[in-house]
Amino acid sequence: MNTLNKLVIDSSVLILDYLYKGRDFQRFWVLEEIARAPYFAFLSVLHFKESLGLRGDNHLYLMKEHFEQTLNETTHLEFMESVGGADQWIDRFLAKHLVLVYYWAMVIYYLINAKAAYNLNVLVEEHAGHTYENYLSTHPHSQYRDKISEIQADEIKHAAELRHAVGLID
Ligand SMILES: [Fe+2]
Ligand SMILES: [Fe+2]
């Protein structure tokens, strides 16, 4: 399953990198729009399972974690919007359709195999971390350096939190 996860992520990254060559903040905005979806999907599934009486040992911890992660990702999204990442209709059109598919895909994936869904999003967060790291090394004088560094640290933190969550699933 992890090989399939990697294949999906690598091919999606290749397509987005090609489409968004030279348009860093638009690409970041699309990535941030998509990046929020899994946390909301995990939270939805946990909430749904809890309503059915299927409350696991780490249920509250995971719900709290995913809620905080979705809020944190929203601050990234808002920053990318503030620097013009979502100004163009075509970018909003693409991201809003991708997020619709990705949200429901993550709901189903998490319901069927929570560990694999977490592992896929570890790869997503690691990719986000590398993307921002790459931006910082290629734009050493960017006026957004501090904020991008802060966001990059958040992505790495989320990857670690997801790796920890994998260990909590039975
Ligand atoms: Fe983010
Ligand atoms: Fe992220």
CA nearest to 117, candidates 59, 22, 40: 40
pLDDT for res 87: 96
How far, in Å, from the CA of 56 to the mean position of ligand 2? Answer: 25
* pTM of the predicted structure, to 2 decimals: 0.92
Ligand nearest to the CA of 39: 2
How far, in Å, from the CA of 76 to the mean position of ligand 1? Answer: 5
pLDDT at 2 exceeding the cut of 80: no
Q: Any idea where the domains of the chain sit in the sequence?
A: 2-168
Q: pLDDT tens digit string along 83-136?
A: 999 999 999 999 999 999 999 999 999 999 999 999 999 999 999 999 999 999
pLDDT for res 44: 97
How far, in Å, from the CA of 47 to the mean position of ligand 1? Answer: 23
Q: What is the rounded (10 degree) CA torsion for 8, 10, 12, 15? A: -140
Q: pLDDT tens digit string along 16-37?
A: 888 888 899 999 999 999 989 9
How far, in Å, from the CA of 155 to the mean position of ligand 2? Answer: 4
What's the CATH fold of domain 2-168? Answer: Ferritin (1.20.1260)
Amino acid of residue 100: L
- In angstroms, the CA 70 to CA 36 distance is 5
How far, in Å, from the CA of 141 to the mean position of ligand 2? Answer: 24
